[in-house]
Amino acid sequence: MTSETVFAEALALTRLWCAIPSVRGNDAAMRAQADALVGWMQSDLGAKIIARTPARGRAEVLHARIDIGAPRTVILYNMYDVMPAQREGWSVDPWEGGIRDLPGVGESYIARGAENNKGPLAGMLCVLKALVTSGRLGVNVEILLDGEEENGSGGMRAYLEAPDCPVRPSAAAIFPSFCEYGGGPPRVYLGFSGIARGAVVVEGGAWGGPKTAIHSSNAPWIANPAARLVEALGRIGTAPTGTLGQITLDDAAAGITAKLAETFDPAAELRFRNTECFAVAGDALALLSHVLTTASFNISRIETQPAAGEGVIPQGARAGFELRAPPGLDPADYLARIAEDLTRLPGARLELDDSYPGTRFGAETPGVAALLAAYAESAAQPPQIWPWAIGAAPGYAFARHARSFLLAGAGRGGNAHGIDEFMTLEGYRRFLTSVELWLVAMAEGAR
């Protein structure tokens, strides 16, 4: 078990960093957080700073290195940006944080970033420091810290994809996080889905619709951009989930999914997702097979211009979306089809913010066995192995530098992006232990 000294230091560092509102658009706070990280890695960790640079005007990518001359190198990746938060509804000020006993959960630290992802970030670095100080670190470590993970990691991807990227070839990369979702078994993902983000937009113009908001009494003879937007969205995907297409599980993925279904609890998943029922029917295997193989178009927000219009025909309307696709289906292909279809609907167009493909690797890839061994000693329950995550992460960009890219860590958190974001204190101890065990196991695997 990780010592109480490391736990106390990691919790104190979490408190300190959660007080920094490193939200996109708050340039001063983003710089302050980057300064704090670089300063700590230099003074407390003794790391060499390889790069601290914005990529194409984006948030700073921080790259540090611990080189002990070991035969094996690993990557520790994490993020330092967080989502916005307002005081209303929180049991503590989200930027001050505090410890509370949450019903059904236990004693927890609550703050914006506690779970996503400053708690894991601070813990990752404190565990690494303890191993360096004690002489127990047996691998070289490339540390990569992302300042815009919440917005697609564009700067990090550009850094990793650059021909002269200085990241050293590594056996495995991990993204330390709390993987006991909803208090269940820790999940091991052997890959990630791809994603595209953007908006479907309609504005008044030559096709019809006003160029400024006008009285709604004109509805019989003036086209409504909001109605045209609804028409456009109705042409994309199959309601109610926005299904675009599916893949067929190959033998390896089908075997992993069948094994996963033996312990997967649909009712627990619904509770974790704060939802009463699934949109599709079936047992655990059918539900898992569907969610893992389906590309979908999710509408995350709909707005009109003016936003607070009442009794008007708006001058424009837009719907923000996320398009996710499992490995083997490229979001860019669906975007091209959607954009082509919208050309046949005057006034509607597609605006793209970002897009990248999914990635996948095998259960025998370096890093996986070490993670399973770490969970066997640290997690409260045996882990679940998924063929890939239904969520997206830029694993494809890490594939140039490491043979695997794993979300990794025991421990429980919750309410990421929401009110009273938390990490349990008991779970934090398990998390710290799991990261330590993984690093030790990766060193032993090199001998």
Q: For residue 225, which of 302, 288, 117 has the smallest C-alpha distance? A: 302
Domains of the chain: 4-192+358-444 (3.40.630.10), 195-356 (3.30.70.360)
User: CB–CB of 128/9 below 8 Å?
Assistant: no
With tokens 């979300």, the residue in question is 407
- Percentage of the chain exceeding pLDDT 70: 98
Q: Which two tokens stand for residue 327?
A: 């490995």
Query: pLDDT digits over 64-73, tens only?
Result: 999 999 999 9
Mean pLDDT of 402-415: 96
Q: How far apart, in Å, are the Cα atoms of 367 and each of 36, 357, 413, 415?
A: 29, 22, 23, 28
Number of other residues whose CB lies within 10 A of the CB of residue 169: 11
Is residue 281 pLDDT above 60, yes or no?
A: yes
- Reduce the DSSP state of residue 18 to 3 states and report it: helix
In percent, the amount of the chain with pLDDT more than 90 equals: 94
pLDDT of residue 1: 65
pLDDT band at 3 (very low <50, low <70, confident <90, very high): confident
The answer to whether residue 445 scores a pLDDT higher than 50 is yes
C-alpha to C-alpha distance for 84 and 98, rounded to whole angstroms:
18
What would the two tokens of residue 71 be? 């035969």
Predicted local distance difference test score (pLDDT) of residue 194 = 95
Predicted pLDDT of residue 446: 52
Indicate the pLDDT class of residue 444, thresholds 50, 70 and 90: confident
* Count of C-beta atoms within a 10 Å radius of residue 126: 27
Nearest to 431 by CA among 184, 176, 188: 176
Rounded CA separation 239/279 (Å): 10
pLDDT recorded at residue 54? 78
CA dihedral of 124, 128, 131, 137, whole degrees rounded to 10: 120
Strand partners, 402: 170
Taking phi over 0 as left and psi of -120 to 50 as alpha, with beta for the rest, 217 belongs to alpha
C-alpha gyration radius of the chain: 23
Q: In the predicted model, is pLDDT for residue 334 greater than 90?
A: yes
The pLDDT assigned to 273 comes to 87
- Per-residue pLDDT band for 413 (boundaries 50, 70, 90) equals very high
Confidence of residue 447 (pLDDT cuts 50, 70, 90): very low
Average pLDDT of the segment spanning 259-282: 94
